[in-house]
Amino acid sequence: MKCSQCGVCCKLFVINLSEEEYRSKKYKTMFDEFVEDFEEAELCGVNLLAQKEDGSCIYLKAGKCSIHDRRPQVCKEFFCKSENKKFKEMIRQIRAYKENGTRMDK
């Protein structure tokens, strides 16, 4: 399945980096100037990709992922047309966003 790069998932969801991704320092995180250690970051819940003021991913540029070829693993696994049950709620939120143009949390 290929990503259509519509960018909606980048507007709606916060991305948790794996330990390897966090330690690689390839990605800007929410609090990287305060927390360097992965265990501490994970414990505090700050092993997250940085976000813009509007809550979208910092790597979302002109509606598309600017790091698509090197995006985090969790981004590679998700497809808004997936039938995987673990993505059911996320897909519901994306559909609602596309229909209404606003976040529909829960």
Segment 26-36, tens digit of pLDDT: 999 877 666 66
2 belongs to a structural domain: no
CA distance 93 to 13: 10
The tokens of 38 are what?
């992965």
C-beta atoms surrounding 49 within 10 Å: 24
pTM beyond 0.85: the answer is no
18 belongs to a structural domain: yes
Residue 78 near residue 8, CB atoms below 8 Å:
no
Q: What one-letter code names the amino acid at 92?
A: R
Q: Which domain holds residue 60?
A: 8-100
19 belongs to a structural domain: yes
Question: What is the total count of domains within the chain?
Answer: 1
* pLDDT, tens only, 29-60: 877 666 667 677 777 667 789 999 999 999 99
> Residue 73 — very low, low, confident or very high, per pLDDT cuts 50/70/90?
very high
